[in-house]
Structure 1
Amino acid sequence: MPAAPRENPLVIGHRGAPGYRPEHSRSSYELAFALGADSVEPDVVATKDGELVLRHENEISGTTDVAERPEFAHLRTTKRVDDAELTGWFTEDFTWEELGTLTVRERIPGVRPSSASFDGRQGILRLRDLVEIVDEASDSQSRELGMTVELKHATYFDGVGLPLDELVDAELRRLGWGARPELIVESFEKTVLSRLAGRGLSAEYVYLVERSGAAADLVARDGATARSYADELTDAGLDALAGLVDGVSADKALVLALDDDGIANGTTDLVSRLHARGLRAYSWTLRPENRFLAANFRRGTADAFGDWQSEFELVLRTGIDGVFLDHPDLGVAARDALAGRRP
């Protein structure tokens, strides 16, 4: 049955609250809920022994201290992941016992030095650890908080014998999240979403789309003839998606109407076209620093906060069902301002 648009858009902590703490760290997730997030978004990848861990990518040199750990130097290697050649350290080459000894760090320390001051203080989290954080926050706030679980590089992990649909289904059921209305599952690949839904996991299934390129599962199957994300966002493409997923989460640049100079001259009709087909609409990622804002909302230096309120409210006015933010408190403030509530 088609999902009704949400009356109040979800504020989703993108990897927790990485504007303030290193992404996917315990303090990042705990702070996200303390700042008012309704849901948090973990990126899920797998270890050699099938443990589900929270990292933006399976290559972890930029977000952990692995490069400084001589005992793991022999694991540095080059691989091709989703048609990109990467050199570094990969989660699937570690057992959880090994990976659990690493500490996490800020991914963009030059932009967020305050967050980087927390480097080295916390370890990598597993999906099971996040479930405990969500459940504890729900109890303390007396409201049902959610997870928006992103499955990363599913086709790649299939190829190394670590099928994410099987691992995620088993883990969420074991943790009591097999039928929770607050659960959203998302991926840039429809194949893994279909497989997981076919296993009977009750969730809202959301397809992630970018401005350019094509989905990794389609490229693996069809090569150069793979249907692009742009094709999937045509009216005919959305008609097809309506029978496969519950919603679409789009790059912010697909929601804002940007000209050649990067100026936002309003918004596109993407949200309304999704709603017309019974699909929910989400957008990523709203960030306040000038380097991430549309050109007309920039004020001052690249790493200073610009007029984020205007850009955030422009997106929210589309009637969107949820937004992903690195600073959840700013999303709550923008949403409350539009609704006429006092911050």
Structure 2
Amino acid sequence: MIRTLLTGILLSTLCTNLLAKPLVIAHRGASGYLPEHTLPAVILAHGMNPDYIEQDLVLSKDGVLVVLHDIHLDTVTDVAERFAQRKRADGRFYAIDFTLEELKSLRVHERRNEQNQQVFALRYQGHKTNADFFRIATFEEQLILIQELNRSRGVNIGIYPEIKSPAFHRAAGQDISKIFMAQLEKHGLNKADAKVYVQCFDFAETRRLRQELGLKAPLIQLLAENSWQESGSDYDYLKSPPGLQEIAKVADGIGPWIPQLVNFDNKAPTTLFTQAKALGLQIHPYTLRADQLPQGMDWQSTMALLFDWLKVDGIFTDFPDKVVAYNATQ
């Protein structure tokens, strides 16, 4: 009897520890190693065994969901070389101005800044050698690829799509959320128990997804700073107790920027963190990068702060292999 009881306690403790391990979300694939959101980056990320692989979604001119971090093309592709005359008055190139066929003709490279310098200087530099290898993928291509890799490898790695700039798309005459929901339904993924998290920065769209469009999959409200002009949402309000209560009515959790959770001067959690925890909201912060750590901190101390002290529920990371390896040691 005692042996049975002790065995039960040990098993319960083991299961609790396993469940407590934070989710590893491969941010734009294995973007610390290969150009973000490309199929090679997805394949590499899948082999690293994260829990989820993220897809940022925008629309082409002909209404196809493609995987790009934002509505612009110029920072991650050679669009300025191939379609110089297609830039808008602001000097930017927009995905929604190009058909899928045109988008597929572009070559993807590591993210560059306004000075045409690679943002993360030490990341992948072989674009000129195998430029044809990295192309824009559709959401469905990534979805099918992940499903097939899951089947062949006998694993169940999920997807973590983000609806990008829904108000921008509606102003251009396209409803990105409806098109997204059709894809979820087509692949049988609009279920509460699907290995899917859906995320969005626009709180009005978060509510619409849940209340009007019938999203049943888990839903995360992303949080930004108002100065970023990420959407029309008031993030100062959303980070307040009343705002978090509004989020909790429709979403399962929040996706905050890491500095919104902790004061790195005294390593104290913010009120946003404690209030979100009190409401039972999952917390999936972004973005953990081995080559862009908080000042004065190394990889181990950053991981210990996020995982062992704050105990976040998940983490977006460009280096999923490193986080999986850390989880394995805990």
1:293 is matched with 293
SS of equivalent residue, structure 1 residue 332: helix
C-alpha change, 1:36 and 1:273, in structure 2 (3 Å) is same
1:115 to 111, 124, 134: 124
2:313 to 290, 311, 321: 321
Structure label with greater radius of gyration? 2
Q: Does 1:16 align with 2:26?
A: no
Shift of 1:191: 1.8
Shift of 1:32: 0.8
1:90 is matched with 94
Instruction: Report which stretch shifted further, 108-117 or 239-248.
Output: 108-117
Matches within 5 A, 1:23-102: 23-69=36-82, 72-78=83-89, 86-102=90-106
1:207 to 221, 224, 227: 221
**2: distance between equivalents of 1:216 and 1:330?**
29
Residue pair 1:284, 1:323 contacting (<8 A) in 2 also: yes
Higher strand proportion, which one? Answer: 1
Residue pair 2:287, 2:316 contacting (<8 A) in 1 also: yes
1:284 is matched with 286
**Letter matched to residue 320 of structure 1:** V
Shift of 1:217: 5.0
**1: distance between equivalents of 2:65 and 2:224?**
25
**2: distance between equivalents of 1:214 and 1:102?**
28
Shift of 1:190: 1.5
1:165 to 164, 171, 177: 177
C-alpha change, 1:271 and 1:133, in structure 2 (3 Å) is farther
Residue pair 1:257, 1:265 contacting (<8 A) in 2 also: yes
Q: Structure 1 segments of 4 or more deviating over 6 A?
A: none
SS of equivalent residue, structure 2 residue 110: coil
**Letter matched to residue 206 of structure 1:** I
Deviations 1:165-191 (A, max 9, x none): 111011221233222521111011012
2:9 is matched with none
SS of equivalent residue, structure 1 residue 203: coil
Shift of 1:164: 1.1
Deviations 1:10-52 (A, max 9, x none): 1000000111000001111111111121101111000111000
5+ residue gaps, structure 1: 1-5, 79-85, 220-227, 298-306
1:244 to 221, 242, 250: 250
Residue pair 1:100, 1:124 contacting (<8 A) in 2 also: yes
Residue pair 2:159, 2:196 contacting (<8 A) in 1 also: yes
C-alpha change, 1:277 and 1:56, in structure 2 (3 Å) is same
C-alpha change, 1:214 and 1:25, in structure 2 (3 Å) is closer
Residue pair 1:189, 1:215 contacting (<8 A) in 2 also: no
Residue pair 2:224, 2:230 contacting (<8 A) in 1 also: no
1:105 is matched with 109
SS of equivalent residue, structure 1 residue 239: helix
Shift of 1:87: 2.2
Residue pair 1:44, 1:152 contacting (<8 A) in 2 also: yes
1:303 is matched with none
TM-score, normalization by structure 2: 0.85
C-alpha change, 1:11 and 1:20, in structure 2 (3 Å) is same
Note the aligned Cα RMSD (angstroms). 2.2
**1: distance between equivalents of 2:301 and 2:88?**
44
Deviations 1:278-310 (A, max 9, x none): 211110000111xx222111xxxxxxxxx1121
Shift of 1:323: 0.1
Matches within 5 A, 1:151-230: 151-179=163-191, 181-197=194-210, 198-213=212-227, 218=232, 228-230=234-236
**1: distance between equivalents of 2:87 and 2:229?**
27
